[in-house]
Amino acid sequence: MKKIFLLFLIIIALFANSEPIAEYKMDECVWDGTAGEIKDSSLDGIDNNGTIKGKVLLIDKGKICNSRLFNGGAIDIDDLNVSTAYGDKTTVSFWIYWYGTDNVMPFGWYAYDLAFTRGYFGFNTGNSDLYGIKSSKLLNGWHHIVAIFTNGDYTKNKLYIDGVEQKLKQI
C-alpha cells in the first residue's frame, strides 16, 4: 500500500519573482477533498486549481486542522507557468509524513520529480537513478522539504530537509 501524507504545498518559480505561482493548503478545514478539486490559494491572480485523482483522504489529526492521505491518489494541476529554459530554477516546498513505502513520488511535473526508491529520496534524473540522500531520516515523522529544481542540470539541484541543506549524491 503506497501511503504519503501531505500537509502543505507551495510551488514557487524563482526565475520570475519570489511570489508563489501556486499554493495548496491541505491543512485548511475548509478544503473539501470530496469535491474533486483543490483550490489554489496564491495571490498571483491566476487560477491554478487542481483535480483530485484516486484516493486522497481527509485525516483529522487534531493539530493545525487536517492533513491528506495520498493512498495511491494524486492531485493533477494543469498549465502551471513554470519555465523550462535551461538553467532556470523552480522551488517546491511541502510538509510530508512518510511511512517507508518504496516507489512513491510525493511531487512531480513534466520530466521533474522527487521520489522514494530503494532506500533513497531525491531527484529523479531520468536515467533510472536518483540524485539524493538515504531516506531513513524521513521515516515516520513530519518533515519540511524544500527542493530546488534546475532545468537541464540536476547536479545543480538543491534539497533542504527541516531547513538543513542536504549533501546530494548520485544513487
Judge whether 114 and 147 are in contact, CB under 8 Å.
Answer: yes
CA distance 98 to 95: 10
Judge whether 132 and 165 are in contact, CB under 8 Å.
Answer: no
Count of alpha carbons within 13 angstroms of residue 169, beta-carbon side: 6
Question: Is 33's pLDDT higher than 70?
Answer: no
**CA angle, 85 then 86 then 91, to 5°:** 75
What tens digit of pLDDT does each residue of 91-146 get? 888 888 888 888 888 877 777 889 999 999 999 988 889 999 999 999 998 899 99
Q: What global pTM score does this model have? A: 0.79
Q: What burial class does residue 58 get, using C-beta atoms within 10 Å of its C-beta: 0-12 exposed, 13-18 middle, 19+ buried? A: middle
Question: Is 15's pLDDT higher than 70?
Answer: no
What tens digit of pLDDT does each residue of 56-104 get? 666 665 555 566 666 676 677 777 777 888 998 888 888 888 888 888 8
